[in-house]
């Protein structure tokens, strides 16, 4: 059962990956935003990388196979004093990818229908969930987190930074550390990977 789930998820991620990078069409949007705020992301199917930046801006750069596909995608950034809402809709069925650069100190909340989220070294709270796909979070300093939990309904959970590795159905871990940040990571069907700097 576990192998079948992992194979299905791998095929899903492969179908969403960029296989024709040289032929990709690209555009982007940018919005001023404060460091230390909260960023809420509602994301439709695709591959997303959330990366830290030392400027006080949110920059979303996204790519699709054709200009027609790209024009159907709608990316909105709605800021307030201490929170920004990012919504991505109209994504094509395959080969859509986006890079979302955020202030290095940001609290992240994200929900993705299907695909992949990779979070690089962004400092702050993290509350991330995917219905089907892969969630990968870089955690160079595990002790920065207090409450931390991660789970999969079906698939694999690899939290090497917290010395946890599990696979199968309804796998989870809950822990309390010394830090001030909160970590919540959940994938219904697929993989959760919490690792240090590689």
Task: Record the pTM.
Answer: 0.86
Polymer length of the chain: 198
* β-strand partners of 116: 47, 134
Nearest CA-CA partner of 102 in 25, 20, 36? 36
pLDDT in tens, 55-112: 999 999 999 999 899 999 999 999 998 999 999 999 998 889 999 999 999 999 999 9
């Amino acid at each position: 059962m576990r192998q079948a789930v992992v194979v299905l998820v791998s095929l899903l991620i492969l179908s969403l990956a960029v296989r024709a990078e040289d032929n990709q069409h690209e555009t982007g949007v940018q919005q001023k935003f404060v460091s230390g705020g909260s960023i809420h992301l509602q994301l439709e199917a695709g591959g997303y990388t959330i990366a830290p930046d030392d400027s006080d801006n949110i920059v979303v750069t996204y790519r699709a196979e054709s200009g027609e596909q790209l024009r159907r995608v709608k990316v909105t950034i709605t800021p307030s004093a201490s929170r920004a809402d990012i919504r991505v809709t109209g994504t094509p069925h395959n080969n859509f990818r986006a890079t979302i650069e955020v202030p290095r100190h940001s609290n992240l909340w994200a929900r993705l229908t299907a695909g992949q989220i990779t979070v690089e070294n962004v400092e702050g709270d993290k509350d991330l969930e995917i219905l089907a796909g892969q969630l990968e979070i870089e955690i160079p300093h595990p002790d920065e987190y207090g409450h931390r939990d991660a789970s999969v309904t079906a698939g694999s959970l690899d939290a090497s930074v917290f010395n946890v590795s599990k696979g199968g159905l309804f796998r989870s871990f809950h822990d309390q550390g010394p830090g001030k940040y909160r970590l919540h990571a959940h994938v219904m069907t697929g993989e959760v990977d919490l690792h240090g700097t590689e």
